Amino acid sequence: MTNTRGRSRKNEQETKKELIIRLLPFLKKQGISSLKMEDIAKYMDISKATMYKYFSSRTEILEATVEVYVDYILENLHDLSDNESASFVRRFQKVFENSVVLAIFLSDLLLQELKSMYPHLYQRIVEAQKARNDHIKAFYEAGHREGVFLSVNPSLLIAQDELLLPSLLSPVFLIQNHMTLEQALFDYYQMKKHQLLKPELIPDVDDSFIPMQVGQCIQKITWTE
């Protein structure tokens, strides 16, 4: 009986997460201030009655949304420092992919509205981002100690992602610079690789799966449009 209830709760949580993920593209574009419950149900592709089976209020939906963001921000963080089976180069490539995905789904509009309307939820994201940044800094520093990474200020590398990635994802930027999205992301990856890795290691880096990673990111971008 206990196992059955446990499975039921797990299935309910998975369904709620799936519904929230359907909502993310619209939150990125429209923010939260203008969203009504009927709009949310439409974007989740369910009836209002079904939506209320899982979420009792707009606030509960936003709380669940922030938890999805926080879970992704913190996902696999310990692998950066504890996963010795993966090389520093492979972990750097994973950090790049995660940074792109975060730039896709976390918009300035959404963050600013959370900050002004739901500061406690905004703070959850800020704390998660700080924890992620701290792990990435420690990872870059460890890579430098092991002779894999150059001596580059890790805070600047993180700030570079936060400032540049949103621009690279902008259609206006791509049109003005005559670039495709795939080219922009791959070129940015190459730039970061040369910024971070020692030159003598670069010829041996396996970039064969990077186009696939970039393609998966582009699919997520297409989904949010």
pLDDT for 214 beyond 90: no
Cα–Cα dist 223/225, whole Å = 6
Residue 197 pairs in a beta bridge with 149
Domain coordinates in residue numbering, the chain: 59-223
| Main-chain phi, psi angles of 34, to 5 degrees | -100, -5
Q: What is the pLDDT of residue 67?
A: 94
pTM to 2 decimals? 0.85
Return the CATH architecture of domain 59-223.
Orthogonal Bundle (1.10)
Q: Which band of pLDDT confidence, cut at 50, 70 and 90, is reported for residue 3?
A: low
114-173: per-residue pLDDT in tens?
Answer: 999 999 999 999 999 999 999 999 999 999 999 999 999 999 999 999 999 999 989 999
